[in-house]
Amino acid sequence: MTKKFYSDNDQLEFDYRDKLGDPGEYPYTRGIYPGMYTDRIWTMRQYAGFATARESNLRYRYLLEQGQTGLSVAFDLPTQIGYDSDYPMAEGEVGKTGVAIDTLADFEMLFDGIPLDKVSTSMTINATAAILLCMYIAVARKQGVSLSQIAGTVQNDILKEFIARGTYIYPPKSSMRLVTDIFAYAGTNLPRYNTISISGYHIREAGATAVQEVAFTLANAIEYVNHALQAGLAIDDFAPRLSFFFCAQQNLLEEVAKFRAARRIWARIMKQRFGAKNPASMMLRFHTQTAGVSLTAQQPEVNTIRTTLEALTAVLGGTQSLHTNAHDEALALPTAESAQLALRIQQILGYETGLADIVDPLAGSYYLEAKTDDIETAVLEYLKRVDVLGGSLRAIEEGFFQKEIQASAYDFQLQVEKGERVIIGVNKFRTNDKVEVQVQKLSANIYDEQIARLAAVKSRRDHSAASSALQDLAAAANSNDNLMPIILRSVESYATVGEISDALRSVWGEYRESVVL
């Protein structure tokens, strides 16, 4: 059987069995490394963070003891949008959706006893990404770890915040300045650290289809590359440190095809559109998280089955790292026990199923390759539409992405309500059994403890050094200077997340979203 695949120049007919190419070969449909998991299993990176830095540190140590191979840090909402825990509107949110971070002292506690030259760390942070990355750098310095040794990823994907999530601070243009400043600084100082994780996960969780997830993510990636080039960076200097973040949902073969199509499209974009020469610039490296939106409060133990199948799609699709959701996350933050069980899903897939013994086990499936082709074609059509609009920033301003996602989410909900799409325990096979799940309970003293800690740090810091750094930061925001060295100086003087964010707010202002109808 043959199927049309386009080559670099025109349409050619290839036989699936003979012309798929090998893993590790451009355009990397079958994976970015020749040996894939036969050489090295994916990084098991469980997303965690809650309450104070002390409590989150205990959870990180516990997960590492249980066999987790990489950290993934969740931050609370005040930290994500540049407010300190003592800001009036922060009350009620401190430590709830992630760990509360106000100053470098919190970061020192967060990574106490965790050697940053031995563990890679992913940080899900965007509007304040530069600040938190500088805190990570400062902790590494205090540990005596060379910056060339630290590894991990900072999400730093502000465009998807305007599309699907909402934790932005500054207007898009100023926000993109911070993104490219991180690119430039890391290119010189952090050779092993990924400077961005361009996220389709949140787009998918907002209601996008598999095609839209890939298309809108790659459209954003193109926008980031264009801005980096306009800032004077060379494509092969920064592109190898770009990474991606996708959602794994339950349609097993569609999800596997989605990952394959994304790799192939990105490779061709980088080579043909941007003229990249370094093969590493063309490799789409990605982290995957199982679908939070698929978890149900009804029959929550069934979520373990859902997560297992979603994790399987990521592994068969060739992910580089993976987070598996805990079964109780539709009810509360995961307990230590449910987080351990979620980690065990990955470990069983990695060590008991034989999946790590085979490179790209589904390659050559007629259906899979046809589905990959179909997704690729649909994604390219979307990318053309975004190009016509003038790129992702223009598409965001016009509400294009938002409208497309809203329409898909509405269609999905209609299917559920009509029973056309079955969700076990929700619209079919329901039970009247009372849900009895032991949920994670946060200490009632989180807020008071964090406020007291922040006040203590402020009382003992060098106020002159902090004030000077903040003044210099505001001045630099009006220039073309790279802001990372000044943010790092501010962090090391124990200026707070809120103070640093306010210094930039004073120059750039805040973004207010217009209503999309």
User: What pLDDT score does 431 carry?
Assistant: 92
Average pLDDT over all residues of the chain: 94
Give me the mean pLDDT over the 316-337 stretch.
95
Enumerate domains of the chain plus CATH numbers: 27-385 (3.20.20.240)
CB neighbourhood size of 146 (10 A): 9
Average pLDDT over residues 482-496: 98
**Rounded Cα gap, residues 470 and 451, in angstroms:** 21
- pTM for the model stands at 0.93
For 115-132, what is each residue's pLDDT tens digit? 999 999 999 999 999 999
List residues bridging with 74 in a β-sheet: 124
3-class SS letters over 148-170 = CCCCEEECCCCHHHHHHHCCCCC
Confidence of residue 5 (pLDDT cuts 50, 70, 90): very low
Distance, in Å, from the CA atom of 465 to the CA atom of 46, rounded to the nearest integer, reads 37
What does the pLDDT look like over 192-241, one tens digit per residue?
Answer: 999 999 999 999 999 999 999 999 999 999 999 999 999 999 999 999 99
Residue 374's alpha-carbon distances to 261, 384, 404, 447, in angstroms, are: 9, 16, 19, 51
Q: Is the dihedral of CA 37, 38, 39, 44 positive or negative?
A: positive
Asked whether the beta carbons of 216 and 382 are under 8 A apart, the reply is yes
Identify the weakest region by mean pLDDT among 13-27, 74-88, 207-221, 262-276: 13-27
Distance from CA of residue 237 to its chain's centroid?
Answer: 22
pLDDT of residue 226: 97
Spatial distance between the Cα atoms of 174 and 162, rounded to a whole number of angstroms: 13
Distance (Å, rounded) from C-alpha 408 to C-alpha 333?
Answer: 28
Q: Which of 215, 248, 245 is nearest to 314 (CA)?
A: 248
Asked if residues 96 and 440 have their Cβ atoms less than 8 Å apart, the reply is no
Spatial separation of the C-alpha atoms in residues 29 and 26, rounded to whole Å: 8
**The pLDDT of residue 2:** 36
Instruction: Answer whether residue 110 shows pLDDT above 80.
Output: yes
Place of tokens 């060739």: 318
d(C-alpha 332, C-alpha 326), whole Å: 10
